[in-house]
Structure 1
Amino acid sequence: MTGSDATPANRDRLALNLMHFARALRAAGLPVGPGKVLQAVEAVEAVGLASRSDFYWALHAVLVNRHDQSELFDQAFHVFWRNPDILKKMMAMMLPTVRTEPAPDKPEMAQRLADALHGTAPEVEGKEKTEIEIDATFTMSAAERLQAKDFETMSAEEMAQAKSMLARLALPLAEVTTRRYQPDPHGPRVDPRGTLRRMLRSGGDLADLARKRKRTRPPPLVVLCDISGSMTRYSRMILHFMHAVTNDRDRVHSFVFGTRLTNITRHLRHKDVDVALDAVSSAVADWSGGTRIGTALRAFNRQWARRVLGQGAIILLITDGLDRDAGEGLAEEAERLHKSCRRLVWLNPLLRWEGFAPKSSGIRALLPHVDDFRATHNLNSLASLADALSRQGARRQPGLRRWVKEAAG
């Protein structure tokens, strides 16, 4: 809207259209406030309404500030402004028609976007509401349903509740014995230095022997998370999980990879999760692209393994195993990684399917070199991971041999 079209009436109508669009985005989970709406109006006035592409990217530049928000914005834009002549209608000061049915050639709309757009639709006057009574005697509580619900099918409200629960999730690790000692009056070894200090304090007289024992502490934790296109639905929630773990303990190192490896440990140390994820979004350049697991593990083994895998570190490898390079060089790098850590735990969202079979070359290359193979698709799966890592027991998961045989066969 430029030149003579930028009248006060047209500008008000444009702001009203954009306000409704921003309200739908905010309800779907994007942080869009009044300031963003004013910036969006200024951006659209600057580029004009002659080109739908310019209109799209002007709004995208203002309303999207993280890579993981792009897909939701794209779906919302094409649903809200789905009429091809919407720009002409805006010039004629007509409000757009908001519909939530996806076009036949479009992918299924995100559940939280559908809820957000349904929430903006006006109620029809005079329509009687039918009350449905449900006997909830034998149903699960809302919290239990949320914990068992797949991240991919959550609505915007459920996503917010899940993120709040992830912020309180603790990941206790079974403590391991270190080579250092600490004072202990009942320790199994005599502490010569402690004994001499006691004698000096008593003026050289004989003193009771000081004793010590080996110190125990949780091992370092290293997280390698896949952020490729096939993991988009889960990487957002997993990053919240990684932020909670990073701020819950020391010696946590976090990396993300798609076609390259990026260290995001420093960014996740921000206490505010939104600030942390904004920093991660700015630092990572390969969101929602291809996956080169072998290349990423090779970079980690060469550049970071000797720095962060000391003192018996535990590695969480979060990926679906779908490799763009068809597993080339992956087995060798996975073997080296496995030999460098105390325990290698593979979290795979595909494992949630009952008919899952290790058929892809990437999965077959990884399976022989992991100690634990678990699903990671909901809150319950992450809670069971915390329980498993807090228990002392065998290094390799019982039943893992079956998966390895199936992958080899």
Structure 2
Amino acid sequence: MSTGGPAPALLPVEPDAVATLVADKLAAFLRTLRDNAFAVGLSEGQDAAMLLASGYGDRPALLRAAFKHLFAARKADWEVFDGLFDAFWLGKRVRSRSAISGSTKAANSPSLKNLRNDAAHSGGDTAPDQMPAGDEPGEDRDGVGRMEGASRADNLSDTDFRKIADPAQIAAAHDIAARLARTMRTRLTRRDLARRRGYRLDLRRTIHRNISHGGVPISLVKRRRKEKPLRLVMLLDASGSMSLYTGVFLRFIHGVLDEFREADAFLFHTRLAHVSDAMKEKNPVRALDRLSMMAQGAGGGTRIGESLQTFNRWHAARVIHSRTCVMIVSDGYETGDAALLGREMARLARRCRRIVWLNPMIGWEGYAPEAAGIKAALPHVDLYAPAHTLQSLADLEPYLAKL
């Protein structure tokens, strides 16, 4: 046997061997999650296999994020998932008491990028791990898993904003709020066009045009309705008591300004700020960055009356016409003069078509409008509605369609 010759070339890795090793590791990882009380069933396993087959395995950070959204349906799962993933796939030490099963020592766990090398050395002879007996097709462990994740997603629209703490759910709520504004605009436009199709007959002009025909109405003249689109003017309370709701409403306002042809936005706390230009930035992240620079003092007290006085004096004539709906989003906690708030609300009511006051606290159990500020404002409000969930925002659409 010659020892001075060139080193033998590595044999090409068989695709089936790679697939077998990936399936083995994935099955072991699913068992690890189940051992740590994750609700993982066959459906999640199939989705995870599709992620690996789509190339996510070449980028561990991307795969971790994808797996986290797939498997971590509860807050407790979300908090421990990163440690489990890093310990199993990347060989890092886990800093919790979470059990790591399906592999030997964490230090010997293969990296995601080394799966092909492991397959080459093993030759693909390793027998695939079997799924647990309870994971038959169409069955989830303990009847949960994907069913739980789906129900949580379905119920997001009915969840109070202040109870959404999961970062993924917060991001999802923001995206839904922006899409809601787009959907609302589309439906309102369709209803408006349908309403304008039924033109009324202009009897006087019809008779005048048909005099040459002996008064027989051969040629009909219809009244043409002058188009004046609905304009939304939104005033958002950015005080400390509204901090849990401000983020979702900012995304909703961003969507409104992006979709509605005529819309304006203002932010108020101890003073009023016109934020339409900042919120019309196409990128919502950059829009919020610009907004944070403009809204100095946000998170403090609320002077609603003084803010409305500024709006009525300097902005109302420019942004309000006969088909304007003013939306005020606030809990009504006035730290200034409640009588001033009542007077400015009366001035505003004489200018616009409707005033809608959205109060997140209406959705709280046992809430009653006892604050002096909201008591002074309510006589001039056309619609006083809750705004603590995404569904409550969607419920505004039928009301706006009638304006």
Same fold (TM over 0.5): yes
1:146 match: 156
| Of 283, 293, 296, the match for 1:282 | 293
1:255 match: 266
Distance in 2 separating the partners of 1:156 and 1:163: 11
Structure 1 residues 365 and 272: alpha-carbon distance in aligned structure 2, compared to 1, 3 A threshold: same
| Of 367, 371, 389, the match for 1:378 | 389
1:215 match: 226
2:355 match: 344
| Of 202, 206, 222, the match for 1:188 | 202
Higher helix share: 2
233-242 or 355-364: bigger deviation: 355-364
How far does the alpha carbon of each residue in 1:49-106 deviate from its partner, in whole angstroms, 9 at most, with x for none? xxxxxxxxxxxxxxxxxxxxxxxxxxxxxxxxxxxxxxxxxxxxxxxxxxxxxxxxxx
2:184 match: 171
1:124 match: 97
Distance in 1 separating the partners of 2:353 and 2:378: 16
**SS of 1:231's equivalent?**
helix
Distance in 1 separating the partners of 2:98 and 2:78: 21
Contact residue 228 and residue 323 of structure 2 kept, 8 A? no
Contact residue 219 and residue 311 of structure 1 kept, 8 A? no
Structure 1 residues 257 and 386: alpha-carbon distance in aligned structure 2, compared to 1, 3 A threshold: same
User: Post-superposition shift, 1:362?
Assistant: 0.9
1:161 is matched by which residue type in structure 2? A
Alignment of 1:329 with 2:340, yes or no, is yes
Distance in 2 separating the partners of 1:372 and 1:340: 16
Distance in 1 separating the partners of 2:320 and 2:266: 13
Q: TM-score, normalised by structure 1?
A: 0.57
User: Post-superposition shift, 1:211?
Assistant: 5.4
Structure 1 residues 157 and 218: alpha-carbon distance in aligned structure 2, compared to 1, 3 A threshold: same
Distance in 1 separating the partners of 2:341 and 2:322: 25
Percent identity of equivalent pairs:
33
Structure 1 residues 144 and 267: alpha-carbon distance in aligned structure 2, compared to 1, 3 A threshold: same
Contact residue 199 and residue 225 of structure 2 kept, 8 A? no
Contact residue 160 and residue 389 of structure 2 kept, 8 A? yes
Q: TM-score, normalised by structure 2?
A: 0.58
Return the index of the structure with the highest Cα Rg. 2
Distance in 2 separating the partners of 1:365 and 1:318: 16
1:261 is matched by which residue type in structure 2? L
Distance in 1 separating the partners of 2:395 and 2:361: 17
**SS of 1:215's equivalent?**
coil
How far does the alpha carbon of each residue in 1:257-307 deviate from its partner, in whole angstroms, 9 at most, with x for none? 000000011111121111111111111112111100001000001011111
1:49 match: none
Distance in 1 separating the partners of 2:291 and 2:369: 31
User: Post-superposition shift, 1:369?
Assistant: 1.0
2:237 is matched by which residue type in structure 1? D
How far does the alpha carbon of each residue in 1:329-380 deviate from its partner, in whole angstroms, 9 at most, with x for none? 1111111111211100000011011311111111111111100011111111
**SS of 2:395's equivalent?**
helix
Unpaired stretches in structure 2, ≥5 consecutive residues: 1-73, 84-93, 103-131, 135-140, 210-217
**SS of 1:356's equivalent?**
coil
**SS of 1:168's equivalent?**
helix
What is the number of residues matched between the two proteins?
A: 263
1:133 match: 142
User: Post-superposition shift, 1:165?
Assistant: 1.4
2:358 is matched by which residue type in structure 1? L
Structure 1 residues 300 and 213: alpha-carbon distance in aligned structure 2, compared to 1, 3 A threshold: same
Structure 1 residues 281 and 343: alpha-carbon distance in aligned structure 2, compared to 1, 3 A threshold: same
How far does the alpha carbon of each residue in 1:10-59 deviate from its partner, in whole angstroms, 9 at most, with x for none? xxxxxxxxxxxxxxxxxxxxxxxxxxxxxxxxxxxxxxxxxxxxxxxxxx
Distance in 2 separating the partners of 1:114 and 1:232: 24
Distance in 2 separating the partners of 1:118 and 1:347: 38
1:124 is matched by which residue type in structure 2? R
**SS of 1:166's equivalent?**
helix
Contact residue 246 and residue 268 of structure 1 kept, 8 A? yes
2:352 is matched by which residue type in structure 1? C
Task: Please give the residue correspondences for 1:59-98 in structure 2 after superposition, counting only pairs within 5 Å.
Answer: none
Unpaired stretches in structure 1, ≥5 consecutive residues: 1-111, 196-206, 393-409
Cα RMSD after superposing both structures:
3.5
**SS of 1:247's equivalent?**
helix
How far does the alpha carbon of each residue in 1:163-189 deviate from its partner, in whole angstroms, 9 at most, with x for none? 2212211334868xx9xxx99998537
Structure 1 residues 142 and 186: alpha-carbon distance in aligned structure 2, compared to 1, 3 A threshold: same
Contact residue 267 and residue 279 of structure 1 kept, 8 A? yes
| Of 301, 304, 319, the match for 2:315 | 304
Distance in 2 separating the partners of 1:271 and 1:286: 25
